[in-house]
Amino acid sequence: MTALTYSSPFPADFVFGVAAASAQIEGAAFTDGKGESIWDRFCREPGKVHGGDTLDVACDHYHRFDEDFALMASLGVKNYRLSIAWPRIYPNGDGELNQAGLDFYHRLFASMKKHGITPWVTMFHWDLPQSLEDRGGWTSRVTVDAFARYADTIVKAFAGEVTHWITMNEIRCFTLLAYGYGTKAPGRKESNAVVNQTFHHALLCHGHGVRAVREFGGAGAKVGLTDNCDVCIPVTETPADIAAAKAWFLEKNAHVLGAMHAGHYPADYLARAGADAPKVEPGDFDLISLPTDHLGLNIYTGTYVRAPKNGASDQAWEAVPLPINYPRADSPWLHIAPQSIYWATRFCAELYGHQSLYITENGCGYNEEPVVNGEVLDLHRRDFVRNHLREAHRAISDGVPLHGYFLWSFIDNYEWEDGYQRRFGIVHCDYETLVRTPKLSARYYAEVVKAHRIL
């Protein structure tokens, strides 16, 4: 392939989009029969969410989606990644179906169509029905069975409206962080064995999502996982550091990407897990390893890795600690490392043979952003996006099959345990008046999308 320069356009079929998720923007948390989600419960527990912020109103997208899609269309954005709220469809996770929930998404997809916007739909983005949590949540196979039914229902219902499906969003965030560290709903702190089992159940649900799309999605329907793989960057781009980073990537992602692609848990993962390894039933990996059409990666940051100094370690790699003043967004974990996009996509292509990769999220969150003449002047976000797009472009020019980029997020929204104080949007949301105002980064992104190249 001829090398592209940064000023050359992205390939003609490259998809530019924006992303959001049901719980974070919809509001209407108890409207039209929606059931309680684990986040509706968790946000009411003292001290769990910044400022005690709830999801009750959020951006009120539930009632304002038409206005939001008109704004999106006015920015020239033609692809939107959203998620369906499981508790709107099955208020108790399983049991009775809520037709009003299905009707809401029919209205939403009709509005997107009217505005010329293609939906990319995530089946599960963390809003587990509380009733399932009461029966064990992700520690239990009850959730897997319920998910299989939910996936069948939504794929059948929306087959005529949705072509691009994503099964799960970021498995490790609703397993390890939610059942291990306890920072995300339901806020449990369980043993490694239990946490490993939650990963396994999530992988099974991913498999059911793929199966549902194959069975009921209709001709041309596509499906894949969105993962937040641990990302590493070789600290220098020498063969030794690149090899070290690759070894790191394989090890850190063995239990999700490695397992999915191998069709079993990799031996080194099982050796590390020992007695805490997940319990696998016959047939589980037939589902987990069903072929997918694409892999989505949510990329925000990365870890620098290098080859160990001679004899210093028996590991194949060594992480490089960041200096205290290394640049980051206001989210403490969001160290700015645009090369993450390049190395994560390249390693996924090289290690697992992926043919179709998408960046399904990339963005940055800040608490305070400067306002000049009524416009949020988020130069920091414009530069963040620009620098990350350069690395996406570089990956493509090196032959990595990267086919799209979704900016997180369309609008400021509920940032989980950080509540409303942390803003990720290219559109500002005034949480008092619910007025939407595009930021400078929205105008910038609109120009990039229109030109189909980095500006």
Burial tier of 147 (Cβ tally within 10 Å: 0-12, 13-18, 19+): buried
Q: How far is the CB of 226 from ligand GBH (least distance, A)?
A: 8
* Residue number with the smallest Cβ distance to ligand GBH: 333
Question: Of 125 and 354, which CB lies nearer to ligand GBH in the complex structure?
Answer: 125
- One residue of 177, 232, 376, 411 binding ligand GBH per CB under 6 A: 177
The nearest distance, CB 156 to ligand GBH, in angstroms, is: 26
Shortest Å distance, C-beta 39 to ligand GBH: 11
Using the minimum distance from each CB to ligand GBH, give the nearer residue, 230 or 398: 230
- CA-closest candidate to residue 221, choices 128, 143, 103, 118: 118
Q: Are the C-beta atoms of residues 235 and 305 closer than 8 Å to each other? A: yes
Residue from 140, 183, 289, 356 binding ligand GBH (CB under 6 A): 183
Contact 12, 28 (CB under 8 A): no
Q: Which are the contacts of 450, defined by CB distance < 8 A and separation ≥ 6? A: 76
Q: Which of 142, 173, 247, 319 binds ligand GBH (CB under 6 A)?
A: 173
# binding residues, ligand GBH (CB under 6 A):
14
Burial of 159 (0-12, 13-18, 19+ CB in 10 A): middle
Query: For residues 382-411, which are near ligand GBH according to CB under 6 A?
Result: 408
Tell me whether strands 15-19 and 402-408 are parallel, antiparallel or unpaired.
Answer: parallel
Binding to ligand GBH in span 18-77, by CB under 6 A:
21
Does residue 127 contact residue 90 with C-beta atoms inside 8 Å? no
Q: Among candidates 19, 117, 110, which has minimal Cα distance to 74?
A: 117
Nearer of residues 48 and 453 to ligand GBH, judged by Cβ:
48
Residue (153 or 175) nearer to ligand GBH, CB? 175
> Please, which residue, 125 or 453, has the CB nearer to ligand GBH?
125
Q: Exactly one of 284, 361, 391, 412 binds ligand GBH (CB under 6 A); which one?
A: 361
The residue range among 167-175, 190-198, 204-212, 244-252 that interacts with ligand GBH, by the rule CB under 6 A, is 167-175
- Per the CB < 8 A criterion, the answer to whether 409 and 420 are in contact is no
The reply on whether position 298 binds ligand GBH by CB under 6 A is: yes
Smallest gap from residue 284 Cβ to ligand GBH (A): 25
> Does the footprint of ligand GBH cover residue 412 (CB under 6 A)?
no
Report the residue number, 62 or 420, with the smaller CB distance to ligand GBH.
Answer: 420
Pick between residue 285 and residue 414 the one whose CB is nearest to ligand GBH. Answer: 414
Q: Does 415 bind ligand GBH (CB under 6 A)?
A: yes
Rounded to whole angstroms, the Cα distance separating 19 from 118 reads 12
How far apart are the C-alpha atoms of 79 and 329, rounded to whole Å?
26
Q: Is 197 in the site for ligand GBH (CB under 6 A)?
A: no
User: What's the CA gap between 172 and 157, in Å, rounded?
Assistant: 28
Residues within window 416-445 making contact with ligand GBH, judged by CB under 6 A: 424
CB of 294 to ligand GBH, least distance (A): 17
Q: Which stretch binds ligand GBH (CB under 6 A): 71-79, 168-176, 312-320, 395-403?
A: 168-176
Query: Closest approach of Cβ 334 to ligand GBH, in Å?
Result: 7
Query: Measured from the CB of residue 18, what is the shortest distance to ligand GBH in angstroms?
Result: 13
Q: Residues 228, 303, 340, 362: which binds ligand GBH (CB under 6 A)? A: 228
Closest separation in Å from C-beta 407 to ligand GBH: 11
In the complex with ligand GBH, the residue whose CB is nearer, 115 or 206, is: 206
Backbone angles phi, psi at 7, to 5 degrees: -85, -10
Active site residues: 170, 361
- The one-letter code for the residue type at 279 is K
Judged by beta carbon, residue 339 or residue 413, the one nearer ligand GBH is: 413
In angstroms, rounded to a whole number, what is the distance separating the alpha carbons of residues 87 and 98? 9
Stretch of residues binding ligand GBH (CB under 6 A), selected from 44-52, 166-174, 246-254, 388-396 = 166-174
Least separation in angstroms between CB 264 and ligand GBH: 26
| Part of the chain binding ligand GBH (CB under 6 A), chosen from 33-41, 58-66, 165-173, 379-387 | 165-173
Q: Are 38 and 186 in contact (CB under 8 A)?
A: yes
283 Cβ neighbours under 8 A, 6+ residues apart: none
Per CB under 6 A, residues contacting ligand GBH are 21, 169-170, 173, 177, 183, 228, 298, 300, 333, 361, 408, 415, 424
